[in-house]
């Protein structure tokens, strides 16, 4: 695949800040340059600084003077660098790109973004974990945020979604509870970025509506290999509204062009140690290399008749509509092609809000969505500190905008002219437009004021069962292992038992397997279900990652372990074949430089072996001339083997394979000569050799 250098990382989002920096540094005649073209360091007020190494003192060993305004300003600013991290989704990573409309939806929505095929709309996307703090590791078992800000010609549209199509709770009033429960326990402040603790499982087992979501969170979806290999979901039912003010229901889905992929749990634990920034580094590297990640935007559209006939309430955010029942239609593509200039300015300060919708897109009565629409504005004020957070370039619309909001902290733009209200007699300023403006869909509403959950939301187990049973046997095994791991960290037996009681309503065999993993001798009674789970829902293969595998190694990474005497021809052939596939190849060696290959050439490696464990790669090749005693080399092979990776090996690697416990199977491919590289690549397209997992479990 051709590697393009990333496009210049500068755009209007940061231009204001950047230009001010330039002006500060090169501010004309007054500010000479220090050396050559290096600008003179100044204070924030623009005053040139003569000494930035020493505070102002009386004598070399004397007290520091209050008069030192440069020191005072520098420390004052530093002391205030941090803003509150997001109360959820604190750890995230963002990128710029564009959305291209590939299908006109002008019959069902008047949203400008869906009128013209080929229309390109700038976007900013932020991926995140939910529970961990800003500095936590990327491979936590967790839901991933998938928030997309589309800078449309009719204002910003934010699809603030996750990589899981359902949610834990049905009503927004429960959100603080679920989040408190999953985050670190307040007396001890641990565990961080982990759901494997009593409080979380206590809440889950007391909240049956979370059962469907918990099946997803225990599945491989919660340990994605990369942001690039995740689906994204708007979760709620929204509305499209057309020019005739007619409404159609819609659900939004992002589908990754490279297909989905996850890691295994033992691998995730090790990645967190080897590279806690694994996901953000992956996104950075892909975009910098010109391998721009891409998703299709798909919509599931339906009318009231479909909604009435569907098995569940379309307003219930703990339910999904299987793709087999309502096939998604592709309407556009999302391409991420530029990293931010500055993490804080853009990724940290970006403010997503579900209530940001353009005319032609509207809300349903999903009670979770309604509560979110209220919550997101609050959080921006808390985090960004001013009602003027839309003045920050990343949050400002890219279309023309005019309003009379003024003043407030850090106001960067105030309306000009005399009139700051409307209507006015000065002929100044904007006026509302009944035709172009946002009009809420005129839904008829009636009812008695009450705190109620609808009866139609009461089945908490049927779709959990459908999800579990729609997984491949390998994925079902992973769910059982995840539940076993998580519940093994729960200290209170009653909580574990309660979970088994719920699992009995989802799948009897699963419940028994997990109980066995926990060493439970007697099974509890099944939980009391408000509505007995259904057994008649058709399986939905679309819910499985492995049943929809891409059969491609594009976008993945091969690690080649080399040492002195490694066969130069095989290394070259592997590199050629895998790079042609659009994969990345990295070399791992005992030292970072100076490995002598079979042809006498010296080769630099990308990683010294201690820093380049096999968990960083999707497949590995062990191209060694003879025995290596390096302890990390044994881990390299043993991990790759137990994580079911395809392993290519040369004859000289045999003794290392034996010492590492890697036994011959169809996932172990001999690299006898350069020609074997393409055979190895064909095998690697399956991504993992899952049959090995059964052997390992025996
Ligand atoms: Fe939320 C952030 C996704 C329910 C309140 N949420 C946040 C982010 C994502 C989601 C991706 C991070 C955005 C970013 O990258 O800056 N949230 C969801 C999804 C939900 C959901 C898919 C259910 C379908 N959220 C939810 C509820 C509430 C909130 C029910 C409150 C009633 N969410 C917030 C928040 C956050 C947030 C507190 C924290 C930081 C922020 O908004 O900007 O307002």
Bridge-partner residues for 335, per DSSP?
A: 98, 294
Q: Choose, from 89, 236, 279, 460, the residue flagged as catalytic.
A: 89
Of all atoms in ligand 1, which is nearest to the CA of residue 379? Answer: 44
Q: Calculate the alpha carbon distances from 527 to 250, 460, 498, 552 in Å.
A: 34, 11, 7, 43
Is 56-395's fold the same as 552-697's? no
Q: Choose, from 13, 70, 96, 162, the residue flagged as catalytic.
A: 162
pLDDT in the model for residue 629:
82
- The answer, yes or no, to whether the previous bond of 276 is cis (omega within 30 of 0) is no
Whole-number Å distance, alpha carbon 466 to ligand 1 midpoint, is: 27
Of 131, 145, 350, which is best to mutate to test ligand 1, by the most ligand atoms within 8 angstroms of its C-beta?
A: 145
Q: Which residues in the chain come in under a pLDDT of 50?
A: 1-29
From the CB of 161, is ligand 1 less than 6 Å away? yes
CATH topology of domain 552-697: Rossmann fold (3.40.50)
Whole-number Å distance, alpha carbon 553 to ligand 1 midpoint, is: 33
In this structure, are residues 241 and 157 in contact, taking their beta carbons and an 8 Å threshold?
Answer: no
From the CB of 126, is ligand 1 less than 6 Å away? yes
pLDDT in the model for residue 2:
39
- For the question of residue 162 being annotated catalytic, the response is yes
> Cα(293)–Cα(225) distance, rounded to whole angstroms?
14
pLDDT in the model for residue 23:
39
From the CB of 376, is ligand 1 less than 6 Å away? yes
Residue of the nearest CA to atom 31 in ligand 1?
Answer: 372
DSSP string across 401-416: -------STT------
Q: Where are the alpha helices (DSSP H) in 367-488?
A: 367-384, 462-469, 473-488
pLDDT in the model for residue 627:
82
Stated pTM of the model: 0.95
From the CB of 92, is ligand 1 less than 6 Å away? yes
From the CB of 370, is ligand 1 less than 6 Å away? no
From the CB of 128, is ligand 1 less than 6 Å away? yes
- Kindly report the three-state secondary structure assignment for every residue of 490-525: CCCHHHHHHHHHHHHHHCHHHHHHHHHHCCCCCCCC
From the CB of 88, is ligand 1 less than 6 Å away? yes
At 190-209, the pLDDT tens digits run 999 999 999 999 999 999 99
- CATH code: domain 56-395 is 2.40.180.10
From the CB of 375, is ligand 1 less than 6 Å away? yes
- The answer, yes or no, to whether the previous bond of 191 is cis (omega within 30 of 0) is yes
Of all atoms in ligand 1, which is nearest to the CA of residue 368? Answer: 30
Q: In a 10 Å sphere around its CB, with 0-12 CB exposed, 13-18 middle and 19+ buried, how is residue 9 labelled?
A: middle
From the CB of 87, is ligand 1 less than 6 Å away? yes
Whole-number Å distance, alpha carbon 88 to ligand 1 midpoint, is: 7
Of 89, 316, 320, which is best to mutate to test ligand 1, by the most ligand atoms within 8 angstroms of its C-beta?
A: 89
* Domains in the chain: boundaries: 56-395, 552-697
Of 162, 237, 370, 376, which is best to mutate to test ligand 1, by the most ligand atoms within 8 angstroms of its C-beta?
A: 376
Of all atoms in ligand 1, which is nearest to the CA of residue 88? Answer: 39
């Amino acid at each position: 695949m051709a590697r393009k250098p990333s496009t210049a990382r500068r755009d209007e989002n940061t231009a204001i800040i950047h230009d001010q920096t330039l002006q500060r540094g090169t501010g004309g005649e007054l500010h000479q340059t220090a050396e050559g073209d290096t600008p003179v360091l100044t204070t924030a007020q623009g005053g040139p600084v003569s000494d930035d190494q020493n505070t102002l003192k009386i004598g070399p060993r004397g007290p520091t003077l209050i008069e030192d305004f440069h020191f005072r300003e520098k420390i004052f600013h530093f002391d205030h660098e941090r803003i509150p991290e997001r109360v959820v989704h604190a750890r995230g990573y963002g990128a710029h790109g564009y959305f291209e409309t590939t299908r006109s939806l002008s019959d069902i929505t008047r949203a400008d973004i869906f009128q013209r095929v080929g229309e390109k709309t700038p976007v900013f996307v932020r991926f995140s974990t939910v529970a961990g703090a800003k500095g936590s590791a990327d491979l936590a078992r967790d839901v991933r945020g998938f928030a997309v800000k589309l800078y449309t010609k009719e204002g910003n549209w934010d699809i603030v979604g996750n990589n899981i199509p359902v949610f834990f709770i049905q009503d927004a009033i429960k959100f603080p509870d679920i989040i408190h429960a999953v985050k670190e326990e307040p007396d001890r402040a641990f565990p961080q970025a982990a759901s494997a603790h009593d409080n979380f499982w206590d809440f889950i087992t007391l909240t049956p509506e979370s059962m469907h979501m918990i099946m997803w969170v225990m599945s491989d979806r919660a340990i994605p290999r990369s942001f690039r290999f995740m689906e994204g979901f708007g979760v709620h039912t929204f509305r499209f509204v057309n020019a005739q003010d007619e409404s159609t229901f819609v659900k939004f889905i992002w589908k990754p062009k490279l297909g989905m992929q996850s890691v295994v749990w033992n691998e995730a634990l090790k990645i967190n140690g080897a590279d806690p920034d694994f996901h953000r580094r992956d996104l950075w590297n892909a975009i910098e290399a010109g391998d721009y990640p891409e998703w299709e935007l798909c919509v599931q559209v339906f009318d009231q008749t479909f909604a009435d006939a569907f098995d569940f309430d379309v307003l219930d955010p703990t339910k999904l509509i299987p793709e087999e029942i309502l096939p998604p239609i592709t309407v556009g593509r999302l391409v991420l092609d530029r990293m931010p200039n500055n993490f804080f300015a853009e990724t940290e300060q970006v403010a997503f809000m579900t209530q940001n919708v353009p005319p032609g897109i509207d809300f349903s009565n999903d009670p979770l969505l309604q509560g979110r629409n209220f919550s997101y504005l609050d959080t921006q004020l808390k985090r960004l500190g001013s009602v003027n957070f839309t003045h920050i370039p990343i949050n400002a619309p890219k279309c023309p905008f005019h309003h009379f909001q003024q003043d407030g902290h850090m106001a960067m733009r105030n309306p000009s002219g005399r009139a700051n209200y409307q209507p006015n007699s000065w002929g100044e300023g904007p006026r509302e437009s009944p035709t172009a403006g946002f009009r809420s869909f005129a839904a008829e509403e009636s009812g008695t004021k009450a705190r109620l959950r609808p009866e139609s939301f009461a089945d908490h187990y049927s779709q959990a069962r459908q999800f579990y049973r729609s997984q491949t046997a390998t994925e079902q095994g992973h769910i059982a292992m995840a539940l076993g791991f998580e519940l093994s960290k729960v200290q209170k037996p009653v909580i574990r038992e309660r979970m088994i009681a719920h699992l009995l309503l989802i799948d009897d065999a699963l419940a028994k397997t997990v109980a066995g993993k926990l060493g439970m001798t007697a099974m509890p009674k099944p939980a009391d279900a408000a509505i007995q789970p259904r057994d008649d829902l058709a399986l939905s293969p679309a819910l499985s990652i492995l049943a929809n595998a891409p059969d491609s190694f594009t976008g993945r990474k091969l690690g080649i372990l080399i040492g002195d005497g490694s066969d130069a021809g095989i290394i070259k052939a592997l590199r050629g074949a895998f790079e042609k596939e659009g994969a990345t190849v990295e070399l791992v060696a005992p030292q970072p430089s100076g490995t002598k290959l079979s042809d006498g050439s010296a080769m630099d490696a990308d990683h010294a072996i201690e820093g380049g464990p096999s968990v960083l790669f999707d497949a590995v090749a062990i191209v060694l001339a003879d025995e290596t005693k390096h302890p990390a080399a044994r881990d390299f092979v043993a991990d790759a083997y137990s994580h079911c990776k395809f392993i290519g090996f040369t004859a000289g690697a045999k003794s290392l394979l034996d010492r590492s416990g890697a036994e011959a199977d169809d996932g172990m491919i001999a690299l006898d000569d350069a020609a074997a590289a393409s055979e190895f690549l064909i095998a690697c397209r399956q991504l993992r050799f899952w049959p090995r997992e059964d052997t390992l479990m025996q």
